[in-house]
Amino acid sequence: MYRVMRGKTFVQAAPVYNKNRIPSQNELAARARFTNAIAFARKAMVTWKLREYYEKVKKAHRGMTIFGIAVRNAMENPVVLHIDTRGYNGLPGSKILIRVEDSVKVMEVTVSIITADGILVEQGAAYAPVKNPYDWVYKTRAVNHELKGCKVIVVAKNLPGNEGVKENVIEIGSKQRKKRVKATVR
């Protein structure tokens, strides 16, 4: 069998397929994920708004087609890179900064704050304050009296609807305690 890679021709043995082999659960899951990615990419080609996003990204991915970029994006999850809880003091109006990444676009970021006992304090959508697609801000609305050990769970969704999740446990320091005391005294 002849194969051409990067302009060079190689000779290799023909692949051997066993028609009676039963695929593993991981192989079946990968096939299903790829099938869903192809279906999403086909939808993206005929949906004007989706196609527009992928055409903008095509300039950054040299040599790739719009369809290929859409398939790749449907196969990957967005990544929550960082959750900055230093500005969170348990009072309404404090901010949690989030940094997320995706090869095309993160469509939404949801933040949940849960106490150490497992009680949901609040949940809501973060917003992107500037045109930087990586930085998002969540402004709190509820009072949280139990800061120590609280979990901040961030879920980011991309265009195909894939989710990336990251969890951060709040360890309250002396700076945060002082800010909280000053804010509650006023």
Q: What is the 3-state secondary structure (H, E, C) of 35-103?
A: HHHHHHHHHHHHCHHHHHHHHHHHCCCCCCCHHHHHHHHHHCCCEEEEEECCCCCCCCCCEEEEEEECC
Q: Which of 8-17, 125-134, 177-186 ranks highest by mean pLDDT?
A: 8-17
Residue 43: CB atoms within 10 Å: 14
Q: What is the pLDDT of residue 173?
A: 59
Sheet holding 151-158, edge to edge: 120-125, 106-114, 151-158, 163-169
Can you read off the two tokens belonging to residue 132?
A: 């930087």
Q: What is the pLDDT of residue 59?
A: 78
Give the Cα separation of 71 and 44 in Å (integer).
Answer: 9
CATH class for the region spanning 79-185 = mainly beta
Q: What is the pLDDT of residue 60?
A: 78
Which tens digit of pLDDT belongs to each residue from 70-124? 999 999 999 999 999 999 998 999 999 999 999 888 999 999 999 999 999 999 9
Q: What is the pLDDT of residue 103?
A: 87
For residue 77, the Cα-to-chain-centroid distance in whole angstroms is: 5
Percent with pLDDT over 90 in the chain: 61
Positive/negative CA dihedral, 145, 147, 149, 150:
positive
Average pLDDT, the chain: 88
Helix (H, G, I), strand (E, B) or coil at 160: coil
Ordered by start, the domain boundaries in the chain are 15-75, 79-185
pLDDT at residue 130 greater than cutoff 90: no
